[in-house]
């Protein structure tokens, strides 16, 4: 057997591999630096494999050190590395506002607005009428005040940013009164008390986990009046406490806050702009209702029930919104031109609630007719039955709103189930995620499931084609 040194020297050099036809042909589509990185990685793996077999009776020829073979493997590696990390996927989970999949998909109008804005320069902070510097986000804020009745509005980068800014601007260095039952944890393990701490506020808990009375707030204000900067109300958008529960009505809490000359801030979380009971969904307070009840500042997210892109909306009384706008945090939390373009195009649809339900994908998915879902499921199942080895079924299933909104709401619909004689459900799932485009389904009772609620008719066809190419 040849010594270890001669076996290692048998490996081709990086330059020799780069000269192979496969990599020469790919030089036009892939950066040379990326190709070189992939070649080096392949050769390094071969070197490790050879070193690990020191003293092995197997001949060195069994290690694929041929330059052409190395080039082929490097090309696969380079293409995988060149692929964007954020890619379009087909959501067949039935979760409409799926946080891991980007929450609300944008409407056609919003996508066009983003594309037009991304083409070149825009008047982001330029007043076309006066020729002077303008105010960023003016169009979005104008629509927010028009749709909700708020005196003023401000856009920041996400919902947590909105409540952070509100607390920083209105109560930094002070205590903020909040019910113990509203100290929720939001996505990514962030908790309301932690957000409050970062804003410079100190928490003043009142009541108990399941019941908080008006007298609890009154006692806190009476005992700590000089230390208190605001009262915070957190809407339980991502959880429910049921049974022996109590909390004051919003208008009563607003009266107490105003008597004490304190701002009442409400974090609505999902932030519905229209009555969702008209879609057959459970009751969710609207932004206008909170403002009409006397809330001074309302905050909510842009990519949940609003159906737009990630953003945080802060609106209410002009005095308080202006203080938030002047807070140094506002600069750190501001949004870019693409976010504003998507938001404004989305808000325009709310000028007519029927138009919003028709044009905004998230709202449309939330109230898709059962017969439409069944027809879509049967079409998808029919296409998948042409894939050899697949046992395809159709079952009733429940989708979810997702995104921390309406945690108890179930969305009855239809799912397509897949069973393969030679593959487990986990293996089907892995191959579906590796498809082009990737298909994201769920597994339940040993079956791989595709919920058609979160697919359009065209996407259902794409799912069938992608899975057919995925070697199921």
Q: What's the rounded Cα separation, in Å, for the pair 215 and 387?
A: 66
Domain final residue, candidates 302, 331, 359: 359
Domain final residue, candidates 322, 337, 359: 359
The CATH number that applies at residue 355 is 3.40.640.10
Domain final residue, candidates 82, 116, 142: 82
**227 in the same domain as 341:** yes
Q: What's the rounded Cα separation, in Å, for the pair 236 and 402?
A: 14
C-alpha pair distances (Å), 431 with each of 94, 169, 389, 427, 467: 19, 50, 14, 6, 8
- When pLDDT is averaged across residues 443-465 and rounded to a whole number, the result is 96
pLDDT of residue 409: 87
ω into 437 cis (within 30 of 0): yes
**Domain total for the chain?**
3
Which of 460, 462, 447 is CA-nearest to residue 390?
Answer: 447
**Max avg pLDDT among 79-83, 296-300, 385-389:** 296-300
pLDDT of residue 384: 95
Query: For the chain, what is the mean pLDDT?
Result: 90
**186 in the same domain as 279:** yes
Sorted by sequence, the CB contacts under 8 Å of residue 190 that are 6+ apart come out as 160
**54 in the same domain as 94:** no
> Both tokens of residue 138?
């003016």
pLDDT tens for residues 109-120?
Answer: 999 999 999 999
pLDDT tens for residues 298-332?
Answer: 999 999 999 999 999 999 999 999 999 999 999 99
Q: What's the rounded Cα separation, in Å, for the pair 153 and 316?
A: 7
- Domain, as residue range, for 126: 107-359
Terminal-to-terminal C-alpha distance of the chain? 43
pLDDT of residue 6: 46
pLDDT at 244 over 80: no
Identify the band that residue 399 occupies on the pLDDT scale cut at 50, 70 and 90: very high
pLDDT tens for residues 131-147?
Answer: 999 999 999 999 999 99
- When pLDDT is averaged across residues 39-58 and rounded to a whole number, the result is 80
**224 in the same domain as 165:** yes
**313 in the same domain as 453:** no
**370 in the same domain as 254:** no
**137 in the same domain as 175:** yes
pLDDT tens for residues 7-21?
Answer: 445 789 999 999 999
* CB neighbour burial string for 413-451, b if at least 16 within 10 angstroms, e if fewer: bbbbbbbbeebebeebbebbeebeeebbbbeeeebbbbb
pLDDT tens for residues 218-235?
Answer: 999 999 989 999 999 998
The CATH number that applies at residue 385 is 3.90.1150.110
**198 in the same domain as 261:** yes
pLDDT at 185 over 80: no
Worst-scoring range by mean pLDDT, 44-58, 249-263, 295-309, 365-379? 44-58
Residues of the chain above pLDDT 70, percent: 92
pLDDT of residue 196: 80
pLDDT of residue 7: 46
Q: What's the rounded Cα separation, in Å, for the pair 293 and 339?
A: 30
C-alpha pair distances (Å), 348 with each of 117, 159, 361: 16, 21, 14
> Both tokens of residue 190?
């962030």
pLDDT at 4 over 70: no
**76 in the same domain as 139:** no
**373 in the same domain as 354:** no
pLDDT of residue 57: 56
pLDDT of residue 56: 58
pLDDT of residue 64: 53
Strands lying side by side in the sheet with 152-156: 152-156, 312-316, 297-301, 264-269, 228-234, 175-179, 202-206
**313 in the same domain as 214:** yes
0.95 cut: is pTM over it? Answer: no
pLDDT at 189 over 60: no
**435 in the same domain as 352:** no
Which of 3, 1, 11 is CA-nearest to residue 69?
Answer: 11
């Amino acid at each position: 057997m040849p010594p270890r040194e001669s076996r290692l020297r048998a490996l081709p050099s990086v330059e020799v591999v780069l000269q192979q036809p496969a990599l020469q042909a790919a030089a036009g589509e892939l950066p040379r630096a990326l190709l070189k990185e992939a070649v080096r990685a392949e050769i390094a793996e071969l070197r490790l494999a050879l070193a690990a077999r020191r003293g092995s009776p197997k001949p060195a020829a069994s290690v694929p050190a041929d330059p052409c073979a190395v080039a082929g493997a490097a090309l696969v590696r380079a293409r995988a590395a060149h692929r964007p990390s954020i890619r379009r996927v087909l959501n067949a989970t039935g979760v409409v506002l799926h946080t891991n999949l980007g929450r609300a998909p944008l409407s056609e109008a919003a996508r066009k607005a983003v594309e037009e804005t991304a083409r070149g320069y825009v008047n982001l902070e330029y007043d076309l009428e006066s020729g002077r510097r303008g105010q960023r986000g003016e169009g979005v804020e104008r629509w927010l005040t028009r749709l909700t009745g708020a005196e003023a509005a401000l856009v920041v980068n996400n919902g947590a940013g909105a409540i952070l800014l509100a607390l920083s601007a209105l109560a930094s260095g002070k205590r903020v009164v909040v019910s113990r039952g509203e100290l929720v944890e939001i996505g990514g393990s962030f908790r309301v008390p932690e957000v409050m701490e970062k804003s410079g506020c100190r928490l003043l808990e009142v009541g108990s986990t399941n019941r908080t009375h008006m007298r609890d707030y009154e006692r806190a204000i009476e005992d700590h009046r000089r230390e208190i900067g605001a009262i915070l109300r957190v809407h339980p958008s991502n959880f429910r406490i049921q049974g022996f529960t109590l909390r004051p009505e919003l208008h009563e809490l607003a009266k107490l806050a105003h008597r004490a000359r304190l701002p009442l801030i409400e974090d609505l979380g999902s932030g519905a702009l229209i009555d969702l009971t008209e879609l057959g969904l459970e009751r969710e307070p609207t932004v206008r209702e909170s403002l009409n009840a006397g809330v001074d500042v309302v905050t909510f997210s842009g990519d949940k029930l609003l159906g737009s892109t990630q953003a945080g909306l802060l609106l209410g009384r002009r005095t308080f919104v202006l203080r938030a706008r002047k807070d140094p945090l506002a600069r750190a939390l501001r949004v870019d031109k693409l976010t504003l373009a998507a938001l404004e195009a989305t808000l325009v649809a709310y000028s007519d609630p029927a138009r919003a339900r028709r044009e905004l994908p998230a709202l449309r998915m939330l109230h898709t007719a059962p017969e439409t879902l069944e027809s879509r499921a049967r079409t998808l199942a029919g296409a998948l039955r042409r894939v050899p080895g697949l046992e395809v079924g159709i079952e009733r299933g429940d989708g979810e709103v997702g995104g921390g909104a309406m945690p108890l709401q179930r969305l009855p619909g239809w799912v397509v189930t897949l069973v393969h004689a030679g593959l487990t459900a986990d293996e089907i799932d892995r191959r579906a995620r590796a498809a082009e485009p990737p298909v994201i389904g769920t597994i339940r009772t040993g079956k791989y499931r595709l919920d058609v609620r979160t697919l359009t008719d065209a996407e259902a066809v794409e799912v069938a084609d992608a899975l057919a190419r995925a070697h199921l």
